[in-house]
Chain A
Amino acid sequence: MVKIYVIDNGGQWTHREWRVLKYLGVETRILPNTTPYDDLVKNDIDGIVLSGGAPRIGLKDNLGRCGEYLENADFPILGICAGHQFIARFFGGKVEPAEIPEFGKVGLIIDKEHELFHGIPKKSVAWVSHNDEVTIVPESFDVLAHSDACKVQAMAHEKNPIFGLQFHPEVEHTEYGMQVFKNFVDICKK
């Protein structure tokens, strides 16, 4: 069974991420973001999800030990909301308060084909909840999707399986959220 753990950065939907993975037949657990990298990899995991977090956490804080995971991991990492923003900052990008914060329903437009979005139409409905956003994308990343008010709804590392999503694929109201997770699980299986 593929094993993907959820790193809890204090999001409202951390437990939903766990639920979606569980529903996809993944062996999963929620671990606090203070878990040392060595303890994390002892579990022989195939991937991790960096959850979202309380307001503004993506803007400046260290986000627990998420940096350690990004530095050392040889498995896929999916960052969501604050997790996504932290990935951007870690790789040299920039996160700032959004000019127009988005809460609730947005139209998601996919800009670049990618295995994370396999089987998802160019335009769909996604659910968001963020005050801050990625304003400068790290050089090693490609932007995969945007919405009206947010240029970076999704990004992926050019070479490594590291992905960031500003929207929340784990909530019921994101039309193709389950599909995004399915695709991530497939990536972790490789």
Chain B
Amino acid sequence: MFDAKQFINESIQLIREKIKGKALIACSGGVDSTVAAVLVDKAIGKNLVALHVDTGLMRKNESQQVKKLLEDLGLNNRFVDASERFFNALKGIIDPEKKRKIIGELFIRIFEEVAEEEEVEHLVQGTIAPDWIESGDQLRDTIKSHHNVGGLPKDIKVKIVEPLRDLYKDEVRAVARELKIPIAERQPFPGPGLAVRIIGEVTREKAEIAREACYIVENEIEKAARSGLMELPWQYFAVLLPLKTVGVHGDQRAYGYTIAVRAIQSIDGMSGAYSKIPHEVLDRIATRITNTLGDKVTRVVYDITNKPPATIEWE
């Protein structure tokens, strides 16, 4: 089995050997990057700068929560609001792989700017096994370019360090528990954020819809799990489809987008079975999404495909 204690000791040693001087970590506030940040902090202390970038594509109130988390963990942290840059860069982009590459490159450019100011040579990333597996290589097909691997530009000025490269999420969680990190059980959220949950072009308006819908799905499913109606899935969220359909709101025609609800059971994200959510919970989700989002969303559907054949996120 996996020995989290041993892993922590070994990786602190390895990090000390690899990183001389200062380092920057890109911290989304998810389990992977937070665990990587705490490990590197243990290895090199205040020589680590933990940077959080608000892409405008984070979930509801997420960036504020991440900022607080980094402070609570006692990390030397910095915060950059780059939402304008991300929305501009994504204007008119529909192809999911292009989206991921644009986001990957923009992240790196922002990291490089901060790295220069902070005079650091090393960039730490919370990359885990599925990120590089699915990004593809000489031997492996590209399923999707994870922004931190396949989305990286070729010309990078910083040296990349990835202490969690051989771990899967369940193992990262075991490390997080051992390190007493409060968000050890947080569900995965992709690096490109809501951009890959908005099918088609990403705009500020669509980001608002996807953000609210994701919030409702998370909130209702967590409530249902707490009251024993269902098990908490591995991942659960909303996807905004560019498909408009007809509704009837107060005897008037409405014409709005479609939200797909996705919930899946897995331990490592490499295979998955869709969650058998009770109908009463699906019912609550659909009603609340359509009532909250008014004529913007006229239809809610549930995704019942396993992985494979589908992937967990839609893009």
Contact = CB atoms under 8 A, between A and B. Distances in A.
Contact of B273 (A11, A103, A105, A168): A105
A54 B309 contact: no
A91 B308 CA distance: 29
Given A10-B140, A104-B308, A15 B133 contact: yes
A172 B271 contact: yes
A75 B66 CA distance: 52
Interface string A120-153: 0000000101000000000000000000000000
B309 A104 contact: yes
Contact of B306 (A9, A15, A32, A104): A104
B141 interface: yes
Interface in A44-97: 53-55
A54 B140 contact: yes
Which applies to chain A's interface (DSSP): helix, strand, loop or mixed? mixed
B272 interface: yes
B187 interface: no
Contacts of A54: 139-141
Contacts of A14: 133, 140
Nearest to B137: A10
Contacts of A33: 139
A157 interface: no
Contacts of B1: 23
B308 A172 contact: no
Interface in B118-144: 129, 133-134, 139-141, 143
A13 to B, nearest CB: 6
A173 interface: yes
Nearest to A125: B273
Nearest to A30: B166
A188 interface: no
Contacts of B306: 103-105, 173
Interface stretch (B103-111, B149-157, B262-270): B262-270
Contacts of B168: 19
A10 B139 contact: yes
A32 B270 contact: no
A57 B306 CA distance: 23
A95 B34 CA distance: 46
B22 interface: no
Given A16-B270, A172-B268, 17 more contacts: A10-B140, A12-B133, A12-B140, A12-B270, A13-B271, A15-B133, A23-B2, A54-B139, A54-B141, A103-B306, A127-B271, A129-B309, A171-B270, A171-B271, A172-B267, A172-B271, A173-B271
Those 5 A-B pairs whose CB atoms lie nearest each other, nearest first = A10-B139, A103-B309, A104-B306, A171-B271, A54-B141
Interface of B: 1-2, 129, 133-134, 139-141, 143, 166, 168, 266-268, 270-273, 305-309
28 contacts: A9-B139, A12-B133, A12-B134, A12-B141, A13-B271, A14-B140, A15-B129, A16-B268, A16-B270, A19-B168, A23-B1, A23-B2, A53-B139, A54-B139, A54-B140, A103-B306, A103-B308, A104-B307, A104-B308, A104-B309, A105-B273, A105-B306, A171-B270, A171-B271, A172-B266, A172-B267, A173-B266, A173-B306
